[in-house]
């Protein structure tokens, strides 16, 4: 149980341990048939109404209008328990920049993430993956949910 009394897979927001990852693998395999899935990843734009004038230019993006916003990167487990949250820093005004600054993906990309094997389609993999939408780059740890998007809403 966490600090607000909610029951979750990990008990509190923390980096998943080997045991936690094994539980995620097991759940997604049993429930959905997805071997090695860790969770889903997305970024959310939040308009920052109280941003000071001095910082405004760092948090404005033309395609989002004149108001500043910040990005929150989130990974959620199957029960919607958010076990990774990372707010982008100054100038990180798109999903890809936030991804490359994220402590979670820095560990994956540098090989410091726990190595927990799983097998899918007869192939053994060293670490799990996250479901993402079409904006994310082609990385072994990211699997796009719609491989051939038919319209702009799914790209």
How many angstroms separate the CA atoms of 55 and 68, rounded? 9
CB < 8 Å & 24+ apart, contacts of 3-11: 6/81, 8/77, 8/79, 8/81, 8/83, 9/77, 9/78, 9/79, 9/81, 9/83, 10/77, 10/81, 10/83
Pairing label, strands 37-47, 82-87: unpaired
**pTM of the shown model:** 0.72
Query: Which band of pLDDT confidence, cut at 50, 70 and 90, is reported for residue 2?
Result: very low
The predicted-structure confidence for 45-103, as pLDDT tens digits, reads as follows 888 888 888 888 777 776 667 788 888 888 877 677 777 777 777 766 677 777 887 77
Q: What tokens does 8 get?
A: 């979750």
If DSSP codes are grouped into helix, strand and coil, which group holds residue 53?
helix
Length of the chain: 155
């Amino acid at each position: 149980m966490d600090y607000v009394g909610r029951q979750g897979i990990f008990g509190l927001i923390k980096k998943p341990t080997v045991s936690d990852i094994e539980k995620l693998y097991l759940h997604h395999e049993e429930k959905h048939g997805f071997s090695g899935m860790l969770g889903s990843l997305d970024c959310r734009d939040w308009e920052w109404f109280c941003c000071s004038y001095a910082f405004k230019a760092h948090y404005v993006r033309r395609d989002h209008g004149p108001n500043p916003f910040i990005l929150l990167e989130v990974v959620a487990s199957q029960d919607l328990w958010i076990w990774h949250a990372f707010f982008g820093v100054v100038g990180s005004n798109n999903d890809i920049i936030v991804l490359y600054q994220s402590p979670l993906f820095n560990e994956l990309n540098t090989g410091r993430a726990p190595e927990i094997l799983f097998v899918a389609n007869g192939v053994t993999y060293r670490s799990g993956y996250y479901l993402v939408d079409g904006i994310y780059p082609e990385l072994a740890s990211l699997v796009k949910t719609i491989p051939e998007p038919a319209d702009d809403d799914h790209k």
